[in-house]
Structure 1
Amino acid sequence: MLAVGIMIGLAALGAGLGLAIMAGKFLESAARQPELIPVLQVRMFITAGLIDAAFIISVAVGLLLAFANPLASALLAEAAKVAG
């Protein structure tokens, strides 16, 4: 459970930093060239979706490992074989 918490926490940290850096660069670019704001805005939203998708996938894998744990049944089956 600790590993799941660390995985989700680091994914959230990475997504937050990625979005913050991207938004800062967008504002910097928009201030330099205001005529490109529509093009930059579309690219920013696409990139934000990709960054959030990576975070959501990490949360889904973490929840899978926390609650469905596909490895536990295989380990228990192997332990039963070894024990007798």
Structure 2
Amino acid sequence: MKKLHTTTATTTLALLLLLVLLAATSLRVAMAGSAFCDSKCGVRCSKASRHDDCLKYCGICCAECNCVPSGTAGNKDECPCYRDKTTGHGARTRPKCP
């Protein structure tokens, strides 16, 4: 009976480890930007003083809206979803997308 319990525990542990590995792999893929967003955000953030932050938020907005306004600034009317994303609520609300 003890051998059966050990085998079950080992199998459960192996399945749990496999599940963790699969979850980590899918998270890494989800966090990687698409070629479309990477190229559009690269242009959008090319002149930004905080380049890494710009790329991060632009990538988030692009993934949610499937568009990025042309140019390095302005033109947000080309993409209303991108334009209307904000952080926070109330008095501390600011535009989320660069």
Both structures adopt the same fold (TM-score exceeding 0.5): no
Q: TM-score range by the shorter chain?
A: 0.3 to 0.5
Higher helix fraction (1 or 2): 1
- Normalized per residue, the structure richer in strand is 2
TM-score when normalising by structure 2:
0.36
TM-score normalised to structure 1 length: 0.41
